[in-house]
Amino acid sequence: MPLYNRFVLPEAQLDSLTVVLVSPRNPLNIGAAARAMANFGLRRLSVVAPFEPTWREARSAIGAPALLVNAMESETLAEAVANCTLVVGTGTLTRRKPEQPVVPLPDLAPRVSRELASGGRVAMVFGSEKHGLTREDLSYCHLLVEIPTDPLQPSMNLGQAVAVCLYELIRSAVSAPETQPATSAISITSAATSGRLDLLAGVIEETMQAAGYSPRAMQSANRHDLRLLLRRLSLSTQDNRRILGLFRRILWRLNRGHGGDRKSG
Amino acid sequence: MPLYNRFVLPEAQLDSLTVVLVSPRNPLNIGAAARAMANFGLRRLSVVAPFEPTWREARSAIGAPALLVNAMESETLAEAVANCTLVVGTGTLTRRKPEQPVVPLPDLAPRVSRELASGGRVAMVFGSEKHGLTREDLSYCHLLVEIPTDPLQPSMNLGQAVAVCLYELIRSAVSAPETQPATSAISITSAATSGRLDLLAGVIEETMQAAGYSPRAMQSANRHDLRLLLRRLSLSTQDNRRILGLFRRILWRLNRGHGGDRKSG
């Protein structure tokens, strides 16, 4: 029973968003990129100038997803993105002075959605594990997206970078629309009414007295604090019923143990 | 020339956010989780019941980051999160009916920031590659976060799941700087730690038994429900202390009343 069955990009747009891996070397990374795509509902993968043995291995791995088996392959990035209207280069950009506009990843989604909504085709381009995207590669990009990593450890693993970027694109589609009311702890179940809280407070107070917890001088202050406490806890009806049951049992036992010297009946 | 030199959580809060891996099996995944942490500037890693050969291998890998070498190790999740005030379980939740509030990942950051800002300590808990978090594990969590994956391919790779979750926490700090409105009922006082909640749960359970509330066949289910209930209530340290005091008093009185037949001493 997933929360997100309205999943996520309109069907027609799914095929307009391509992930492009440029010269990937490590079959595990290729597999991880493909897996992240499947997790976030994408299906068009394009691989540029892969290292052949690696690529064969990744593609023929047991359980390789269809999107890996069906991936497009091309010699050059130019070819891979030829039919795209928005090409987004990814990186962490600590060394190079960028020649294009740079968008922080958290601000990317609106730009991509707009492009897709207007019938465009978008490529998200990831460089090789070793060097990232070259200056030549970047020259095919309309804009660069920067993942906000720690300057002390800026370079991300390829599979993780793909996951984070795709999550960001999916994220806005998930978090913006329709409902999803402020997630409060109790919003699922019905909250206990004030009257029920008072009933509970009464039984707890009796228990306090029966257990000798609440000296006479403190009773009024304790009653006040207890009332506040019970409200602060946001008890559901069911919580309230359970706690009431427990305290009634305790009270009965305490009074029985003392031969009913505090309560008769 | 990174865009994000105001990086990212206040220094003092960095040590209040722990990533907990429960029973990880694959050293590559452990390494990937550690790398994502370094990318997003975190440094506290805790590993619960790792598969020993794997753990040794991951830890001693060439270039293993300091946070991996310095990771804490514990036998149980209870121990790993004992000093945390907010324990967040992660998953994709397609099978189980959750017993806690579920927060979509895109809505998690404000809840975590609030907790950190008020001096709390937060754990993000990730289950093993094979099964994710067990029902027992989940009972230590205050809330569950759901990564919005495709129902057709819900299960994420561990390293990628860690990257996506940490990115989300960092994301908001990057995209919505300063401020911090939303005052919650409990943000004023410090929240009770997981360890203190367990202490309280133990005393309440003893009380239930002493009062004859909990028949033997129900004890395990009651223990489970009690653990969840106490987490749902968002008890402050002070609430916790008071309730503990009350139950200790009750317990003492119950046991005395029965001539110490259940407890000696």
Per-residue pLDDT tens for A3-53?
A: 343 345 677 778 899 999 999 988 889 999 999 999 998 989 999 999 888
Q: Calculate mean pLDDT across residues B116-145.
A: 90
Q: Calculate mean pLDDT across residues B150-175.
A: 88
Residue A265, pLDDT score: 37
Q: How many CB pairs under 8 A join A and B?
A: 231
Residue A183, pLDDT score: 39
Q: Calculate mean pLDDT across residues B96-119.
A: 87
Residue A94, pLDDT score: 55
Alpha carbon distance A186, A117 (integer Å)? 37
The phi and psi torsions of A18 (rounded to 5 degrees) equal: -115, 140
Instruction: Indicate the range of A189-193, A196-200, A236-240, B100-104 predicted with least confidence.
Output: A189-193
pLDDT at A252 over 60: yes
Q: Calculate mean pLDDT across residues A124-141.
A: 87
Residue A243, pLDDT score: 92
Q: Which residues in chain A are closer than 8 Å to B186, comparing Cβ atoms?
A: 232
Exposure of A175 by Cβ count < 10 A (0-12 exposed, 13-18 middle, 19+ buried)? middle
Alpha carbon distance A164, A170 (integer Å)? 10
Alpha carbon distance A43, A20 (integer Å)? 11
Q: Calculate mean pLDDT across residues A155-183.
A: 74
Question: Tokens at residue B7, please?
Answer: 């990086």
Which single residue is written with the structure tokens 């808990």?
B125
B197-232 burial string, b = 16+ CB within 10 Å, else e?
Answer: bbebbebbbbbbbbbebbeeeeeeebbeebbbbbbb
pLDDT at B172 over 50: yes
Which A residues in the span 200-229 are in contact with B, Cβ-Cβ below 8 Å? 207-208, 210-213, 225, 229
Residue A2, pLDDT score: 37
Q: Calculate mean pLDDT across residues A133-146.
A: 86
CATH code of the region A14-175: 3.40.1280.10
Alpha carbon distance A70, A59 (integer Å)? 9
Alpha-carbon distances, residue B214 vs A25, A129, B24 (angstroms): 60, 58, 36
Q: Which residues in chain B are closer than 8 Å to A106, comparing Cβ atoms?
A: 171-172, 174-175
Instruction: Indicate the range of A77-86, A172-181, B183-192 predicted with least confidence.
Output: A172-181
Q: Which amino acid is at B141?
A: C
Do residues A1 and B94 make contact, with C-beta atoms less than 8 angstroms apart? yes
Q: Given phi > 0 = left and psi -120 to 50 = alpha, else beta, which region is B260?
A: left
Residue A258, pLDDT score: 53
Alpha-carbon distances, residue B223 vs B145, B214, B216 (angstroms): 23, 10, 11
Q: Which residues in chain B are closer than 8 Å to A160, comparing Cβ atoms?
A: 32, 35-36, 39, 159-160, 163
Q: Do B39 and A149 touch (CB under 8 A)?
A: yes
B113: helix, coil or strand? Answer: helix
Q: Which residues in chain A are closer than 8 Å to B189, comparing Cβ atoms?
A: none
B98 CB within 8 Å of a chain A CB: no
Q: Which residues contact B108 (CB under 8 A, 6 or more apart)?
A: B88, B145, B165, B168, B169
A110 CB within 8 Å of a chain B CB: no
B204: helix, coil or strand? Answer: helix
pLDDT at B69 over 60: yes
Q: Which residues contact A169 (CB under 8 A, 6 or more apart)?
A: A17, A40, A108, A109, A112, A124
Alpha carbon distance B207, B205 (integer Å)? 5
Residue A167, pLDDT score: 95
A238 CB within 8 Å of a chain B CB: no
**pLDDT tens digits along B182-196:** 333 333 467 888 898
**pLDDT tens digits along A181-223:** 333 433 345 667 778 888 899 999 999 999 888 888 888 888 8
pLDDT at B12 over 80: no
Exposure of B161 by Cβ count < 10 A (0-12 exposed, 13-18 middle, 19+ buried)? buried
Which one is predicted more confidently, B207 or A263? Answer: B207
* Ranges of each domain in chain B: 11-175, 194-257
A119 CB within 8 Å of a chain B CB: no
Residue A114, pLDDT score: 87
Q: Mean pLDDT across chain A, nearest whole number? A: 81
Q: Do A93 and B5 touch (CB under 8 A)?
A: no
pLDDT band at B34 (very low <50, low <70, confident <90, very high): very high
pTM: 0.79
Q: Do A232 and B185 touch (CB under 8 A)?
A: yes
B40 CB within 8 Å of a chain A CB: yes
Residue B37, pLDDT score: 94
Alpha carbon distance B108, B120 (integer Å)? 15
Residue A197's CB is within 10 A of a number of other CB atoms, namely: 20
A144 CB within 8 Å of a chain B CB: no
Residue B174, pLDDT score: 66
Which one is predicted more confidently, B232 or A73? Answer: A73
Residue B192, pLDDT score: 86
CATH T-level topology, domain B11-175:
Alpha/beta knot (3.40.1280)
**Rg for chain A, CA atoms, rounded:** 30
A259 CB within 8 Å of a chain B CB: no
Give me the residues paired with residue A91 across strands: A146
